[in-house]
Amino acid sequence: AGITSLLGSGVYTAAYPLHDVSIMQLNIVYCLLQLLYEEWANYSVFYKYQPIGLVRKYFGEKIGLYFAWLGLYTQMLIPASLVGVIVFLYGCATVDDNIPSMEICHPKNNITMCPLCDRVCSYWKLSTACGTARASHLFDNPATVFFSIFMALWAAMFMEHWKRRQMRLNYEWDLTGFEDEEVSGDHPRAEYEFRVMQKSMCKDQKSQQKVEKLTYRDRLPAYMTNIVMMLLMIGVTFAIVFGVILYRISTKAALHMSSNPITRNHVQLTVKTTAAIINLVVILILDEVYGAVARWLTVLEVPKTDKSFEERLIFKTFILKFFNAFTPIIYIAFFRGRLVGRPGSYLYVFESYRMEECAHGGCLMELCIQLSITMLGKQLIQNNLFEIGVPKLKKLIRYIRSKQAAFQEEERQKKLQRYETDHFLEPFAGLTPEYMEMIIQFGFVTLFVASFPLAPLFALLNNIIEIRLDAKKFVTELRRPVAARAKDIGIWYNILRGVAKVAVIINAFVISFTSDFIPRMVYQYMYSPDGSMHGFVNHTLSYFNVSHFQDGKETMDPLHLGYTIEICRYKDYREPPWSTTPYEISKEFWAVLAVRLAFVIVFQNVVMLMSDIVDWLIPDIPKDISLQIHKEKILLVDLFMKEEQGKVYILESRASAGGKENCSRSNNNSTMAQPRSGLHTNSTKNL
């Protein structure tokens, strides 16, 4: 019923409120849209606070809450960015004092390393990894642990500050007394009522029973389709990541066969960068596909209310886009370099492709490259270029079609009406895409911040532009949405809390297993003869006898370094070939593993405890707001008491007046009929 069914049946093509509302203040007429354009949707006012009150007045509370949340998130990124820059500068300042990288870069370092691939790769000197080792120290230093703890507490403080800000806005916008059903308009959707009507008509023909709702059995096929499609889409993501792995392995082998020495010297950088760009392009394409698939699956479920539809759509979209964005990063952080094997007993894919290893500086540098390219690429291409270019292109196409189909030559000269002008604008598709890109960015800022301390800075710079970009889009590029009331940001708050909790665990594993922080600490306090880091590089390298290579796997260029190689080194904790148990895992490996697991447990519990303390110390409701609400409740109770007292007084007055009248009547009647006087006396007493 209503405009929704008329739109669905094609009676109307669109329905929307019109832009450009004039308001009167101090005898001056203001155009609210023009005011928003000048004071909000303008890049020159990026340093000013947003006029959230005007945004709420023009677009409604739901959109006002989104921009208030985005503004607070951007504001909270300022201290996180400052600390991240300080951590990065600390790494730059101490890179020349880092003993492991100094040992790798020392000109007298003559450690010969085993080939990085079969046949086409040759032996190489560890000193050639000097640049990678120095660059890894910029992101893998003791300050990284402090920054991970800081960001966990930062996320907790951000959530608490948002609850306080949300409560203040609820009070200012007079939403404290509204229930969720009143605010969100929790009524059945037209599609749901149509399905119920169809089912009722089928039932009427068979059993004459009226159907009032859809049961679980009615939705079972849709639920099964949802599960299968979600698993299929996640499987597609894993398959693409696996394809990029094969690309890296095959490209590395091909570049090592090149006759150009410059190409051979920059194999690692070329492979890492191109693979990260391929991952970025795939992520951008699949984001659009997954968004459409999630909406189709949600429509298939036929949720009863708009609120249920939105929550289910958000959940599916978040799951698919989260896996899409973070699966390549998770592989590099936790799996790459750990499924390699050892020289003479490597692990292979399809019996031809040897699993790839991390560079000697560790996988943290590769993780940083992947994270930075993905994050910056998504922000520049998807969040900015797409948001600017695509709406303008669609607007132009609609304008051309309308001109060709609807307007005659003489009508083109006339001035368009407001509803015609707004019809050329992009329809409002909801806030889900806006929230989603910020939630994914929040994941980049918190989940792997141990490997990329500059992530908050890039997020801050993006959001300063994003706020004004979204504002301009709402004011000039989109049709005016129907204003909706809302008390909070809904399911997004729970997603934010979940991401913040998972971030603590992931950062603990990144510091413990991806970086060399734990092996350095174990060596310094357990194995170092003088308590320093001298000898750490040699301690982490195992020995391999080149005569133990499998047939056909040895290098084709054994004299690449100009002399015969008998022993080469590789990064692992294994027994040397001359021991009684050659190539078995050494006791140092188990010692490091035990400390790593202990660090994860301690880090996770300490940081979560500190987050809970922050949550407990910061009240959810600002003190001035709670006092004001308390005073208003007291005034409200006093008002009710006065009203009740007034009602009682009126009743007593009426009762008193009625008693006097009855008494006078009884006196008059007593002279006429004495036997009835007792009845009137009792009734007066009762009254």
pLDDT confidence band for 22 (50 / 70 / 90): low
CA–CA separation, 569 vs 180, rounded Å?
65
In the block, which residue shows the tokens 């196409």? 397
- Residue 676 is predicted with a pLDDT of 37
- Residue 124 is predicted with a pLDDT of 83
Which stretch of 62-66, 365-369, 513-517 has the lowest confidence by average pLDDT? 365-369
**Mean residue pLDDT across the chain:** 80
The mean pLDDT value for 42-68 works out to 89
Tens digits of residue pLDDT in 582-591? 889 889 899 9
What proportion of the chain, given as a percentage, has pLDDT over 90?
Answer: 13
The mean pLDDT value for 481-501 works out to 89
Residue 347 has pLDDT above 80, yes or no: yes
CA–CA separation, 511 vs 494, rounded Å?
26
Residue 685 has pLDDT above 70, yes or no: no
- Residue 215 is predicted with a pLDDT of 66
30 vs 326, higher pLDDT: 326
- Residue 36 is predicted with a pLDDT of 86
Residue 672 has pLDDT above 50, yes or no: no
CA–CA separation, 637 vs 482, rounded Å?
36
What proportion of the chain, given as a percentage, has pLDDT over 70?
Answer: 82
- Residue 659 is predicted with a pLDDT of 58
Which stretch of 375-384, 385-394, 398-407 has the lowest confidence by average pLDDT? 398-407
Region of 344 (left: φ > 0; alpha: ψ -120 to 50; beta: rest) is: left
The mean pLDDT value for 204-216 works out to 54
pLDDT confidence band for 82 (50 / 70 / 90): very high
The mean pLDDT value for 643-652 works out to 77
Do 481 and 494 touch, CB atoms closer than 8 A?
A: no
Q: Dihedral sign, CA of 458, 158, 430, 320?
A: positive
Segments making up each domain of the chain, as ranges? 3-199+215-401+432-625
366 vs 209, higher pLDDT: 366
CA–CA separation, 248 vs 359, rounded Å?
13
Tens digits of residue pLDDT in 131-188? 888 888 888 888 888 898 899 899 989 999 999 999 999 888 888 766 654 444 466 7
Residue 50 has pLDDT above 60, yes or no: yes
The mean pLDDT value for 277-300 works out to 87
Residue 282 has pLDDT above 50, yes or no: yes
Q: How far apart are the first and last CA of the chain?
A: 55
Residue 429 has pLDDT above 90, yes or no: no
CA–CA separation, 415 vs 421, rounded Å?
10
- Residue 409 is predicted with a pLDDT of 44
The mean pLDDT value for 106-114 works out to 82
Residue 671 has pLDDT above 50, yes or no: no
Residue 597 has pLDDT above 90, yes or no: yes
- Residue 399 is predicted with a pLDDT of 65
CA–CA separation, 198 vs 354, rounded Å?
58
Q: Dihedral sign, CA of 400, 404, 410, 414?
A: negative
> What are the strands, taking DSSP E only, across 260-396?
341-342, 345-346, 348-349, 353-354
Task: Indicate the pTM of the whole model.
Answer: 0.82
